[in-house]
Structure 1
Amino acid sequence: MKMKVLSACCSILMLGGIVTSAYAADLTIGDEKSDLGALTLSGFVRAKYQDKSWTENDHKLTFDAARVNLDYKSPKLFGHVEYRCYQFDKLCDFSTLVDGYLGYNINDKHLIQAGIQAVPFGPGRYWESNYYGGVITQVGLEDVHNLGIKYQGKFDTGTKLELGYFPGDGGSYSGPYSEDASRYTTNFVKPENSAISHLDETDMFIARVQQDISGLPEGVSSSVGASYWSSDIDNKTFNTEGDRQAWALFGNLRYNNLGVTVTLGKNDVDNADPITPKASLMGSFDDNFMVANEGMFYTVDLAYSFKDVGKFSEIEPHFMYSQYDKSEDGFKDSTRHILGVTAYYKDLMFVADYIMGKNDFLIGGPADSYAIGSGDKTEHMLNLQVSYLF
């Protein structure tokens, strides 16, 4: 394994050296302070090398993903589109819309935006400093992008309030394997097995409040917050209706270049299903999986940023602990932990993550990982990436 990893690192560094010669130009047209506004194109192209404890098939440097962002900004109006494509078997065989929304600045502290956007649940879109995210991304509560409308307000007391209504999810797109799970966000999806009920989440009311803590020593900043999620779960197979009630508490602490984020909460789904009342079918990234309906979740993230280290503008070691603690007797918990580092050199971003997962379907776990969880073994993956940012 050491020789394989060394070879992969050399390949990634050589690729980085080749790409560095092509700097991204300023891809902005217009002036965001003018009435006409400005349009900006950005994104990345990413390659990866992975070494997995459960397979020998991925020991090669391959194209991983590409992202294109299109942003519009003016004094009153703004908009954002994010589209991504990934490679499973061939170039961009899975592609999906992540965001697509328009917004209006009521003033410099209050705005509304409508379209497919990140829902205001948890400490932010991402709860961690790493690329893969925590195991809660597979539960459908972290990094979720649904169709709806959101209000955001910032107040002089250091309070930030967000209120959202999302009538449905962001839809499915293009992938080689699944009919309905070709999507970025983990949502309830249409089953490919007729023995599993078809669930659809609708009428999502989501709120988040975050409060800055004042009076802290110099170099220290902190905030605490809470969010709540209430929605209907339409059981299309049995023509019944259940619901989801979820909450999260979170806190951020930063001391100079050290950042810590802690999140805890509970997921509680009533799928109104007589066949599988304890778990529900969800899906994302062109795959389907069952998820336990009820459980507590925990995420702890630590990161430290070293600025201007040699030729690197920033080097950031990071650590994450995440767990879905299922409430049902006999269901084994799902965990994902990550230890790694991210480094930035000009327009390149290098990532090296060592990932440990138990009953984590994405990290080599069995098909029932996020439900009853029959896995007894902790799987491991080394993930090396290089991205060209433009």
Structure 2
Amino acid sequence: MYSNLRYLFIIGFFYIGVGSGFTVRAQETPEVSVGGALRFNYNLSSWKPEQKTRGGDFGYDLFRINANASFKGIYLNAEYRLYSDAFGGGMLKQGWFGYRFNRNDELQVGLTQVPFGIQQYNSNNWFFNLSYYVGLEDDHDMGIKYIHSGEKSEYHLAFFKNAEEMRFGNNTEISHSRYSYDVAGRNKEINQFNGKYVFKFGDNIKHRLGMSGQYGSLYNLDTKKTGNHHGFALHYEGTYKNWNLKAEAMNISHNPQNLEKASREVISMAAYGAEYEVAADFNMYTLTLARLIPIEWGPMSALQVYNDFGYMQKHKTGFEDSYMNVTGVLVTTGNIYTYIDYAAGYNHSWLGGNYVNDFSRGTPDATWEARFNINIGYYF
């Protein structure tokens, strides 16, 4: 029955698209555009005494290529990133084929963004918010997605066969060289359904009030059994002149069918060439505030100041909660965008402490750690 529902769900995408009417004219000549970015990074971290002694480190962040193409109504969107070997090396961030049925309706197939929560980003800073590090912000998976974007409402329906897959063995774990955080180790994400609805209203203050839900399976490579994972989110975004506010509350649960000796209170997630543990069940709350300040100072045209906060409330008794707060400013200078951030974390795998289990068990009486970071990128 589950399999039949899955295929009916996919067929429904095409039915909705056909019912919307094919009003987009097919172009006669192909169009291709290529862009990208080169970024460098400076960081000074409170938990690295030798780095502090030498005044921090400044080096390579990434080089990326973006490609967009269209022909006869079918279009392509792809982004490939090259990080250092220590951070996973080369990886496809996104890559999908699309078709617009009309001005408001489109279909995307491939490695496309999962419709869950505030998009495109639930943050303003270079680090993203806490939601990114557990696969709930700017996540991309392999599947098919239908989007309707009207004047007053917007909805997304999607089916994802699995997370991005680079290894096609019989029982191989997912590759750690990936941009989006996904369940890793002996469990694999499969057959996930997503739905998202946003109600848009307001004139002077533009409001976006929405809800998101997802349900999928977790296939265990050891037991050959299938567990599940699911999530629900309420989210709001408000924009008034140059001010922007984002708020989101999420409830997330993972129920893997592991071997008896393996904990079911913890799951593994991976990205950027490494794997760590995450609490299987948690609530997450995020709140961000930003203001854009136009300026005229030589080639400098704008500043955006912001504060992004995230709190991860773990359900398991004895697990220590995680926090993240980033205060910063984005400086726009022609094609150069510079993020200047002060990122603080408590039981945060990327901000001091224990990388392996800060997002799962955590460390009792942990201390807040901080990283001062400057990311400079030329975007073309």
- Contact conserved, 2:148 with 2:156, CA < 8 A, in 1? yes
Alignment of 1:269-288 (within 5 A): 269-273=254-258, 274=260, 275-288=262-275
The aligned amino acid for 2:378 is: Y
CA displacement at 1:363 relative to structure 2: 1.0
| 8 Å CA contact 1:309, 1:315 repeated in 2 | no
Aligned to 2:132: 137
Give the match for residue 222 of structure 2: 237
Aligned-pair identity (%)? 23
Give the TM-score taking structure 1 as reference length.
0.84
Question: Cα deviations across residues 209-244 of structure 1 (Å, max 9, x unaligned)?
Answer: 111013x4x3x2111001101000111112222111
CA contact (8 A) 2:88 2:272 kept: no
Residue 33 of structure 1 deviates from its aligned partner by 8.8
The answer for the alignment partner of 2:161 in structure 1 is 167
Judge conservation of contact 1:331–1:371 (CA < 8 Å) in 2.
yes
Q: 1:33 to 1:313 in 2, by over 3 A?
A: farther
1:102-132 CA-to-partner distances (Å, cap 9, x unmatched) read: 0111111111010001111111131011111
- The Cα offsets for residues 245-296 of structure 1, whole Å up to 9 and x where unpaired, read as 1011100111100000101111111012232110111111111111101010
Give the letter for the 1:120 counterpart.
Answer: P
* 2:74 corresponds to 1:77: yes
Aligned CA RMSD, in angstroms, stands at 1.9
Amino acid corresponding to residue 264 of structure 1 in structure 2: A
Query: Which residue of 368, 371, 375 maps to 1:378?
Result: 368
1:324–1:100 distance in 2 versus 1, CA, 3 Å: same
| Structure 1 position 47 matched with structure 2 position 31 | no
| Separation of aligned partners in 2, 1:359 and 1:60 | 23
Length-normalised TM-score, structure 2: 0.86
Equivalent pair of 2:26/2:73 in contact (CA under 8 Å): no
Aligned length: 342
Show structure 1 runs of 5+ residues with no match. Answer: 1-31, 191-197
Q: Secondary structure at the match of 2:350?
A: helix
Answer yes or no: is the 8 Å Cα contact 2:47–2:369 preserved in 1. yes
Counterparts of 1:358 and 1:204, CA distance in 2:
31
* 1:111 match: secondary structure: strand
Q: Gapped runs of 5+ residues in structure 2? A: 1-24, 168-172
Aligned equivalent of 2:336, options 329, 334, 348: 348
Question: How far apart, in 2, do the equivalents of 1:40 and 1:287 lie?
Answer: 33
Find out whether 1:334 has 2:331 as its counterpart.
no
Q: What does the per-residue CA deviation read over 1:59-80, in whole Å, with 9 as the maximum and x for residues that have no partner? A: 2221111121001245722110
Q: In structure 1, what is the Cα distance between the partners aligned to 2:294 and 2:144?
A: 38
Q: 1:221 aligns with which of 203, 206, 214?
A: 206
Confirm or deny: 8 A CA contact 2:75 2:99 kept in the other structure: yes
Moved over 6 A (4+): none
CA contact (8 A) 1:357 1:365 kept: no
Distance 2:183 2:330 in 1: 33
For 2:269, give the aligned amino acid. Answer: M
- Structure 1 residues 320 and 346, CA, compared in 2 at 3 Å: closer, same or farther? same
